[in-house]
Structure 1
């Protein structure tokens, strides 16, 4: 049993955070996504509507991501090097249209679902992504989940149900829409996130292409996808959607904050998938729920009822349990075929660290 808790020993955190930069990535990832939920909630009116085009906001977010990625690359390299790498790796651009399309759907559904759910409920229901990711891994990669993995996933699902029941008991909730259409949108958003995340992580861990070049490809593909999404939803009102008054709505300070924060979320996520692992990502998801609930109570007076407290406790424990034996997506050059083999390596590293400290 003591070996199962190796990742929570102080010395074992050296395996989780290889350097200070990886710890900064972890904290930044968690903080930015918590902040995104709070910012989007702050842009809603009293009747839970947005006064600006959310599709346009997502499109300009991708433009901001592209500018940031290019700026980071040019900090160390020249324009000629950038253009040569882009031309040499143009085949990769085609591959990035798959996650770009799915992330386009995911980002736009985030606005829709945050209009239907408070941030705590939204992030809690998003924890279904752990279950969906596990199923995708088991089917696509022929990986059989262990007993403890399934126990943690069942607990996680139960925690989501507890929170959902709590909201259904509220007097002002449309129970029919909550159970059917609203929940269906959340599940579809979760699927887009999981499939795109797995595919994107696979591409990012290919060391042949610079990470910022990959990000540039990703954001170019995303801009194209979001542009067509914008046309699809606003074609009949294209002139109004692109009018000065419509675009002026995006230049409110709070909307600019949403766009910039969301852009930083994308950059940090790519660094997270490149340098860290699913153990830390699971921790980040659990901490998002806890801190989002607290901040929403402080900032928006959204009450933390008993259902929320119980659900947070269950989800946090399920995440804790899952993190001890997670489904791990390793880089191509690592030859471990089973999660147990990787865990044993980490256990041995932890033992060596203890011996060194003594």
Structure 2
């Protein structure tokens, strides 16, 4: 096995910092959301929290853009790139579903199990990555993806002390379907968003692209809120309650919004400087730290299969790093794409 080329895996000066920050924020999110629950339920309207978070992201992105640019330039750029604004509606719809379902699924599963179930997006992301960017993965990379997937499945199996008992630690229910929807949304949105960041939006200020994303996301979440308040309570699944007026006075909810806003900002830097395949492996490493922190904070036990899973996932990351995918388009290709628009 060849040596790891860290210069290619983390091409920019800040790439590794972005990678670590991205993982830390995502681990925090699962733990804080679980911490905010009361006996597996939310004493606040989760859709409003997601909507408020998107508004916060939009404000932060606008401030960061105007830090080096005049506000009038912002209005001019929005009009000039209105077609890109419309293109961002697609990932915005997907992220709207993903973010709202995250609250639903974290009420059903502990953070470790939740992140493990999300790891089944690995193969889906790899396939979409090839179709969109025409960057075919090597056999070594496919092997690493396979090992990572098996490692996640091993963590998902619970082996009791009685060797005759062999069972999985979940049962098929509506939340498994929600997890599948989340996986699909995550894969499609992540790769499509990367395509916009490095394709049609390659020459657009990254904060302006964030503004496009969050503006569209606000519209999507407003629509989601209107729809969900009009559905029967049996189908609302924790979206509806009467305590939404006090969410901005609860420290836990404020922490969720701030952390989630930071996740959104750092994700755009991640996709701009790295790629969605490495993003998938970052998510895999998150379950390692999540398991440890959940054991410390929530006293969720770590079984032998968890240790085996961590070992397999870690090996898969090292194997993948032998031949990372660099997905930065040459300026000539970008210019040719723009001429076609």
The match for 1:349 is none
**Structure 2 CA distance for partners of 1:221 and 1:280, relative to 1, 3 Å:** same
The match for 2:188 is 195
The match for 1:117 is 109
2:99 alignment partner, one of 103, 107, 120: 107
Which sits farther off after the overlay, 158-167 or 286-295? 158-167
The match for 1:210 is 205
C-alpha displacement at 1:245, in angstroms? 4.3
2:329 alignment partner, one of 309, 331, 343: 331
In 1, Cα distance between the equivalents of 2:120 and 2:192? 18
The match for 1:299 is 297
Contact kept, 8 Å, 2:29 with 2:256, in 1: the verdict is: yes
In 2, Cα distance between the equivalents of 1:167 and 1:262? 34
Matches within 5 A, 1:82-161: 82-140=74-132, 144-161=136-153
Instruction: Write out per-residue CA displacement over residues 52-84 of structure 1, whole angstroms, 9 at most, x where no aligned residue.
Output: 111111111100000000010111111111111
The match for 2:26 is 33
The match for 1:341 is none
In 1, Cα distance between the equivalents of 2:105 and 2:240? 25
> 5+ unaligned residues in a row in structure 2: which ranges?
234-238, 334-341
1:163 alignment partner, one of 131, 155, 160: 155
Matches within 5 A, 1:38-57: 38-46=31-39, 48-57=40-49
C-alpha displacement at 1:253, in angstroms? 0.3
**Structure 2 CA distance for partners of 1:109 and 1:148, relative to 1, 3 Å:** same
Instruction: Write out per-residue CA displacement over residues 115-168 of structure 1, whole angstroms, 9 at most, x where no aligned residue.
Output: 121111111222222211112234455665432222222212211221222289
C-alpha displacement at 1:277, in angstroms? 3.3
2:307 alignment partner, one of 295, 306, 309: 309
Secondary structure of the residue aligned to 2:259 is helix
Contact kept, 8 Å, 2:117 with 2:179, in 1: the verdict is: yes
In 1, Cα distance between the equivalents of 2:208 and 2:202? 11
**Structure 2 CA distance for partners of 1:334 and 1:158, relative to 1, 3 Å:** farther
**Structure 2 CA distance for partners of 1:218 and 1:210, relative to 1, 3 Å:** same
Instruction: Write out per-residue CA displacement over residues 74-111 of structure 1, whole angstroms, 9 at most, x where no aligned residue.
Output: 11111111111111111111100000000001111111
In 2, Cα distance between the equivalents of 1:50 and 1:169? 34
2:231 equivalent to 1:233: no
Contact kept, 8 Å, 1:283 with 1:323, in 2: the verdict is: no
Secondary structure of the residue aligned to 2:42 is coil
Which sits farther off after the overlay, 185-194 or 133-142? 133-142
Contact kept, 8 Å, 2:48 with 2:244, in 1: the verdict is: no
Contact kept, 8 Å, 1:134 with 1:327, in 2: the verdict is: no
Contact kept, 8 Å, 2:156 with 2:169, in 1: the verdict is: no
In 2, Cα distance between the equivalents of 1:299 and 1:75? 39
TM-score normalised per structure 1: 0.81
In 2, Cα distance between the equivalents of 1:222 and 1:86? 16
**Structure 2 CA distance for partners of 1:211 and 1:142, relative to 1, 3 Å:** closer
In 1, Cα distance between the equivalents of 2:100 and 2:331? 35
2:69 alignment partner, one of 54, 77, 88: 77
**Structure 2 CA distance for partners of 1:280 and 1:263, relative to 1, 3 Å:** same
Which structure shows the higher helix fraction?
1
The match for 2:175 is 182
Which sits farther off after the overlay, 148-157 or 88-97? 148-157
Which sits farther off after the overlay, 129-138 or 262-271? 129-138
In 1, Cα distance between the equivalents of 2:322 and 2:248? 43
**Structure 2 CA distance for partners of 1:15 and 1:309, relative to 1, 3 Å:** closer
> 5+ unaligned residues in a row in structure 1: which ranges?
336-358
Secondary structure of the residue aligned to 1:5 is coil
In 1, Cα distance between the equivalents of 2:132 and 2:280? 21
TM-score normalised per structure 2: 0.85
